[in-house]
A and B are shown apart, each in its own frame.
Chain A
Amino acid sequence: MEIRIKHAALAAALLFGASGAQAQLKIAYIDPLSGAFANVGEAGLKHFQAMAEEINAAGGVNGQKLEIVGYDNKVSPQEALNQLKRVIDDGIRFITQGNSSAVAGALIEAVNRHNERNPGKEVLYLNYAAVDPAFTNDKCSFWHFRFDANSDMKMEALTTWMAGNQKIKKVYLINQDYSFGQAVRKAAREMLSKKRPDIQIVGDDLHPLGKVSDFSPYVAKMKQAGADTVITGNWGQDMSLLIKAAKDAGLTADFYTYYAGGLGALPAMGESALGHVKQITEWHENVLPSSIEKWSQDFEKKYKTDFYYLRIRTAVQMFAEAAKRAKSNDPKAVGYALEGLRFETPTGEVEMRKQDHQLIQPLYLSTVQRMAAKGGPKEVKYDVEDTGFGFKTDAKLEASTSAQPTSCKMTRP
């Protein structure tokens, strides 16, 4: 009996091998797939899946097919660690995550610990959206690679552009009271005082994350202070409600945001964002002409969601390129090959900086406008989430503009 089973297993192995399909190369996507942020998590997953499909159509990664496996972390650090255990038990050695720096921080620590204790079974972490600067500074790790510009880099780009705008005199800061919001506030203060000491910071509010339903008292303060510009790292409801309250009170200040184009933001803000809400991102759909214009429209049709994350495309392509160069799908080898890797993207050349594993890439400052088909400027060819509103580029900030020195002292395996 036992022998027969062995034979069967052998036969199966032979068959499997003979058909040419090798074991799949898997990336675990650990992000919210249920609960309040599930829409954001699902959109990210679709981006990854589309990229895996494209890589596979071109022959896969060193002959292996790439597969993305979703794990739901409910945006909770604790849940993310549980899922990481499952991922490791399932034998998956590459993970990716993006929503919330609190989750990312927990994952980095857990990955470091695991890799130290299990040489030969290391896990590599591709971070596509968690922007706490610490991850590429004092908390940097060989096993972590960040493909989004961190919040200091985005602020550097924002303030560089603001420094040249003499109309800006009085700036008001409003942020969510947690590590990310505090990082935005600190960077804004430091960089503005260096680049434009004449700018007054007329207000600086922190409010609890996701607890404010009526922002009109904050807006009344902005009016009172005479703010002409507001800088905010707010996302989700905290941003939509802020912008709506500002419009209701007739506040005409410009809003410099990180996430005005995030999923669900424009449908919620609608007209109230028109003309005075800006975002700093690595990409939006009206970065034209673009080598991926048709590709992104095909993506939208097929997956029923906007192509928002250029950085996911870049992350998967650079991952595949690094594996190809290393001639190995082993996390350690891929990690070494990713270090210092330069790569051509639709917005220009990017580099995965060796010292701290931070991707250095161009950024765009853009403003909400009506789309061309609805009477807006002709540059706004595509709208966001069928709202009739899209983004118009104000400026492209080259990769070197936002690059920041790092305090990272990387230890390599």
Chain B
Amino acid sequence: MDFLLVQVLNSISYGLLLFMLASGLTIVFSLMGVLNFAHASFYMLGAYFAYQISRWIGFWPALVLAPLAVGALGMAVERFALRRAHKYGHVAELLFTFGLAYLIEEATHLVWGRSAVPYRVPPDLDGPLFSIMGTQYPMYRGFMMLIAVAMLVSIGLVLKKTRIGLVIQAALTHPETVEALGHDVPRVFMLVFGGGVALAGLAGVIGGNAFVTDPGMAAALGPIVFVIVVVGGMGSLGGAFIASLMIGFIQTFAVSLDWGLFGYNISQVAPVLPYLVMVLMLIVRPKGLMGTREG
């Protein structure tokens, strides 16, 4: 029973981290139609920035400054490069973000080297939050969940309740009308892109020290984020939330249940199961759980 409880908590916290990572991607896609292949690279940058800033002035400032820095970089990318690629259609955009991912990875090699950097959980958050029958539940995981939930709520509020949120949503479907009303639509897009990658940056700040900060981290989490966005439904924040938790549960419980299947143990293939879910989803329901667009 306690074992089950611990695994449920593990599933939720991992799922929420995935959600933090996927939310930015899905927002950018739903509002701009841009599928950003470099999204996980911004996650990695968030972790490296946080490492650097926390070495200078500590973790708490880094928690705020690193996502802002990543967001600013994202805006610059949108303003000076992506906007130009946008004119040539979605394929050009895709290829651009694909190349960008490589550029960012090589740049981190040059600046921080090829090995892992010692980015650590701050002492205030290091240690057990509570313990269930001898198994400790780390405080940092609780913190991770808190940030993720706070993020979900605030994004929802901004998009649904504020004026800027209304403008963003309007710009998605009727850009000309919004422009005619005197709003600067390209600027809105720039803000959205910057905001989306800033969320990835925030996930990096939180995930970088929970796991490992090294140049391979973008490649490690990149594919799974696409799985979440596809399963949840392209562009649906709620869908991404449900899909993240689902993937978290599938992976965790596939590991903890020692079910045999055709001579294979299911835990052996646990990390690959999300991709199976994605393929099945694309066959059965291509628009995903809560998606509105086809494909």
Contacts and interface: CB of A to CB of B under 8 A. Distances in A.
Contact of A267 (B117, B255, B272): B117
Contacts of A217: 7, 10-11, 251-253, 255-256, 270
A350 to B, nearest CB: 30
Contacts of B272: 208, 211
Given A36-B219, A214-B10, A250 B128 contact: yes
A177 interface: yes
Contacts of B136: 248-250
B215 interface: yes
Contact of B7 (A36, A177, A220, A270): A220
B255 A221 contact: yes
A100 interface: no
A303 B138 CA distance: 39
Given A36-B215, A223-B135, A237 B114 contact: no
Contacts of A42: 114
Nearest to B248: A214
Contacts of B211: 213-214, 241, 244
A13 to B, nearest CB: 43
Contacts of A218: 255
B113 interface: yes
A332 B109 CA distance: 41
B221 interface: yes
Contacts of A206: 265, 267-268
Interface residues of A, number: 36
A387 interface: yes
A263 B128 CA distance: 29
B86 interface: no
B14 interface: yes
Contact of B267 (A36, A207, A211, A250): A207
A237 B115 CA distance: 10
Interface residues of B, number: 45
Contact of A213 (B6, B115, B221): B221
B116 interface: yes
Interface string A235-255: 001001100100011100000
A63 interface: no
Interface string B1-31: 0010011001100100000000000000000
Contacts of B255: 205, 207, 217-218, 221
Contacts of A205: 255, 265, 267-268
Interface in B210-255: 210-212, 214-216, 219-221, 224, 251-253, 255
A204 to B, nearest CB: 9
A213 B253 CA distance: 15
Given A220-B3, A220-B7, A207 B212 contact: no
Contacts of B117: 267
20 contacts: A177-B268, A207-B268, A208-B271, A211-B271, A213-B221, A214-B211, A214-B251, A217-B7, A217-B251, A220-B3, A220-B10, A220-B135, A237-B212, A240-B212, A241-B211, A248-B141, A250-B135, A250-B136, A268-B116, A268-B214
Q: What 9 A-B pairs have minimum CB-CB distances, sorted nearest first?
A: A250-B136, A39-B114, A264-B115, A268-B116, A248-B138, A217-B255, A211-B271, A217-B252, A216-B10
